[in-house]
Structure 1
């Protein structure tokens, strides 16, 4: 017996709802990029950046001595041991990967509340485990508690929207951060690209351009797949 499947009106509506939600978030982030409501999500991207450094250091045999977030959207970790090249590379690309994974978790899964709950626990616990400094402890406590309450009390759709917002704010923040740190202010500040240039050769700007191209390619692939994918919501 032959059978055919067709897209129902409800599933079509769901597909376009997911795409529209993502578009609204992207437009909102661009319009309000320097506004107060976007700031926590920018700082969360910095958190993921430093967390990626810390994970890379730990996985390559190192020890994290300090986890620092600066309210001016900066930060650093101090570590002993570990592979310096992998650890330095992990920051920008790691935070980008976090954003992509979280966005696709929202788009392809119906377990947004559970995912947000686990993410909240990560945000809450990490600074205490890695000797986080004052602002890191305060920011992560406030954001983590708010996210945890949202995961428990808010609807699936609110959690889905929030998870998309976190993911998209990360993937949109990273290319601009790379450009600012490694190209626009090359030679003015010390960045991850500066450290890589010292270890492997080349210039800060060269490594910045390489990372920028990689991040833009990942973004392009992500948005192409978003248009093709029906999602799970």
Structure 2
């Protein structure tokens, strides 16, 4: 019998979704990074290894608020990151229905974009450039020394890798930052809104704004968690589809 059209299309889709050998390597790195981050996250003293990366992801969280503010006509006054891994963005105006969710979701979107870029050398360079621009904007609006210091150091680190034209290192650094940012966003949502209630979270403010708190911040936290998971899944699937014909990385001259 001739193959059914639907089955043929389905087989073609499954074949396109089958990762290449190089893509499997990238996926293994994603899994390895995730396991390593989750391991270090909860080990006393060893968790300090992740501290500077956590601060960068908090900066991206706040940049999510700020970028949503710019898109909705807000005037950004400051972006600050605190030593306790918290942050705050001051703005006037804007649409709170968009700016409030943009922290958690924006951080995961950035992470997903970096994961997507991590499947390709050129995309990694572009992703690094975009990350550098985002951190420069955070630096412009920073009003405390910690935010300024950590962004300057990380921008310098990215510039160092770019200067030496080490595309392979850039690729795996941007991939690590993508996994870190996505995981941090997901963990933040789970810890702050689902497993325990934080009185002054973005979701609590959003809940009061939308329906006077009738649904509660945990409901919105769960919605944002699902949205964030979808973005990460799209990033991985998109990386497989977009860079299917990539060649294996060659290290050296």
* TM-score category of the 2 structures, normalised to the smaller one: 0.7 to 0.9
The answer on whether the counterparts of 1:67 and 1:78 sit within 8 Å (CA) in structure 2 is: yes
Q: Say whether 1:193 aligns with 2:203.
A: yes
Distance 1:54 1:117 in 2: 19
Query: What's the secondary structure of 1:67's corresponding residue?
Result: strand
- Matched length: 221
Q: Deviations over 1:48-102 (max 9, x none)?
A: 1100101111211111112110121110111111111111111111111111111
Residue 150 of structure 2 aligns with which residue? 139
Q: Which residue number in structure 2 is paired with residue 129 of structure 1?
A: 140
CA RMSD of aligned residues (A): 2.4
Q: Where does structure 2 lack aligned partners over 5 or more consecutive residues?
A: 1-18, 249-253
SS in 1 for 2:119: helix
Distance 1:205 1:16 in 2: 36
**Mapping for residues 65-144 of structure 1, pairs under 5 Å:** 65-123=77-135, 125-144=136-155
Deviation of the 1:131 alpha carbon: 4.2
Decide which of 212, 222, 226 is 1:209's aligned counterpart: 222
Measured in 1, the distance between the counterparts of 2:102 and 2:87 equals 14
Q: Give the Cα–Cα distance (whole angstroms) in 1 for the partners of residues 98 and 76 of structure 2.
A: 14
CA spacing shift, 1:207–1:115, aligned 2, 3 Å: closer
- Return the match for 2:177 from 138, 142, 166: 166
Among residues 76, 83, 86, which one is paired with 1:64 in the alignment? Answer: 76
User: Residue 181 of structure 1 contacts residue 189 of structure 1 at CA under 8 Å; is this kept in 2?
Assistant: no
> Taking structure 2 as the reference length, what is the TM-score of the superposition?
0.78
| Distance (whole Å) between structure 2 residues aligned to residue 74 and residue 153 of structure 1 | 34
Gaps of 5+ in 1: 1-10
